[in-house]
Amino acid sequence: MFITEAEILDTPQALAATVQYFSKQKSSIAEFFARNQQRKFTILGCGSSYMLAKSAAALFDSFAGTSARAIPAGDYILDPEFWKETVRGSTVIALSRSGLTSEMVMAVKHIRETFACPTISLTAKESSDLSALSDLDMAMPWIYDNSVCQTRTVANLYAAILLLASEYAELPSLWESVLAAGIEGNAFHLKNRPVLEDISAQNWDNAVVLADGPVCGIAEEGALAFTEIAMLPGRYFHLLDYRHGPIVIGGERTLTLMLLRPGEDVLQGAMVRDVISRGGIVVTVSDAAENRYGANAHIQISGIGAFAAWGIPFIYIVQMLALLKAVALGGNPDQPAGLDPYISLASCGVS
C-alpha cells in the first residue's frame, strides 16, 4: 500500500484524536478569545493551506459582526504595505503542515512586529518556527503526512478550522457535525470505495470540482489533489459560476465532481443537467439517497448536519479518486515529480 493511501485511510482515526485534542483545549481557546476580542480575522496559508484559508475566511465571515480575509503568505511578504489595513487590528490564524514554510514564517513575523496582532497557529508539527510566533499554538503531530502530497493533514486542518470556529461563534452543532464526520468516516470509506474504483478506471484525463460556501477552499484543494497526486489537470469553480465561461473546457474526457448543497433543487439540478449535456463523467455528491439528476454516479453524505462539515467526507472522495487514478496510470502518488513537502526560500537562493 502506498503511504498516501494509508494516510487517507487513517483520516477518521486522526480526526478522532483532533476532536479529543480540541476538547482538552477548550479552556485555552476560550481564554484566547476572551483576551482578544477582535472580530476581524486574517487567515494565512501557502498552497494547500491557503486553499483551506479560503474556507476558513468564508466561514468566519458568515458570523454576525465578524469579518475575515484569506491572504497567501507569499502575497503578503511581497507587498505588506498593500495589505496593512486588511491586517491591522485583526486576529491572525496561520495554517501550515510543517510550521516551517518560509513565506508563512516571514509573514507572521512581520505582522506581529508591525501590528502586534494576536496569532493562532494550526500545524501538524510541534515546536515549529511558527510556535514561537503564536499566542495560541495548536500542534497536531498525529495528522502529519509523510508523503509529499497532503491528504490526512488537510482533512484535519480543515476540521480544526471548523472546531475553532465552533468555539468562537458558540456553535455546538458545528462541533457535533465534525465529530459525526469522524465517526462515519470508516463506514463511508468502505461503502464508497467500489464506486470510486469504478470511476477511476474510466477514460478521463482532467477533473473539475464544483462546490460553494464554506466548502469552497477544501474543494479547491481537492482539485489540486488531482494535479499533485495523479499529475492530471484539476480545476475548481463555484457551482453555478461554472456556467459563466469555464464550462466550455468540459468535454468527453472530463471528470466533474459536483457537491450539491441541501435545500435547493431547481438551480442545482439545472446545473447538473447542463454539465451532463457537455459529455464526460459526472459525479454528484449530496444528502439525497437517490441519483436525482441522471449523473454517471452519485454518492450520499448522511448523518452530518452542518454543510461546512461535508467537506470532510468530500475531500476523501477526491483524494481517493486522485490516488486510484495515479495508480491506474502507473504513477507513484507518494513521490510526484518536482514537488517538496514544504518550501524553504533558502533553497531558492533567498536568505
Helix (H, G, I), strand (E, B) or coil at 334: coil
Q: Structure pTM?
A: 0.94
Residue 148 pLDDT: 84
Q: Are 4 and 333 in contact (CB under 8 A)?
A: yes
More confident residue, 167 or 340: 167
Q: How far apart are CA 57 and CA 42, in angstroms?
A: 8
More confident residue, 254 or 336: 254
CA atoms within 13 A on the CB side of 287: 14
Q: What is the pLDDT of residues 182-241, one digit of tens each?
A: 999 999 999 999 999 999 999 999 999 999 999 999 999 999 999 999 999 999 999 999
- pLDDT exceeds 60 at position 346: no
Helix (H, G, I), strand (E, B) or coil at 118: coil
Residue 345 pLDDT: 55
Residue 343 pLDDT: 42
Q: How far apart are CA 207 and CA 86, in angstroms?
A: 34
Q: How far apart are CA 184 and CA 205, in angstroms?
A: 31
Q: How far apart are CA 123 and CA 156, in angstroms?
A: 10
Residue 133 pLDDT: 97
Q: How far apart are CA 285 and CA 10, in angstroms?
A: 22
Q: How far apart are CA 160 and CA 140, in angstroms?
A: 10
Q: What is the pLDDT of residues 71-103, one digit of tens each?
A: 999 999 999 999 999 999 999 999 999 999 999
- pLDDT exceeds 80 at position 163: yes
Please give the grid coordinates belonging to residue 71. Answer: 491572504
Confidence at 1, pLDDT banded by 50, 70, 90: confident
User: If DSSP states are collapsed to H, E and C, what string results for 11-80?
Assistant: HHHHHHHHHHHHHHCHHHHHHHHHHCCCCEEEEEECCHHHHHHHHHHHHHHCCCCCEEEEEEHHHHHHCH
The H-assigned helical ranges of the chain are 3-9, 11-24, 26-35, 48-61, 73-78, 80-87, 102-115, 152-169, 172-200, 216-229, 266-277, 311-328
CA atoms within 13 A on the CB side of 248: 3
Share of the chain above pLDDT 90, in %: 93
Query: What's phi and psi for 100, nearest 5 deg?
Result: -120, -10
Contacts of 194 (CB under 8 A, 6+ apart): none
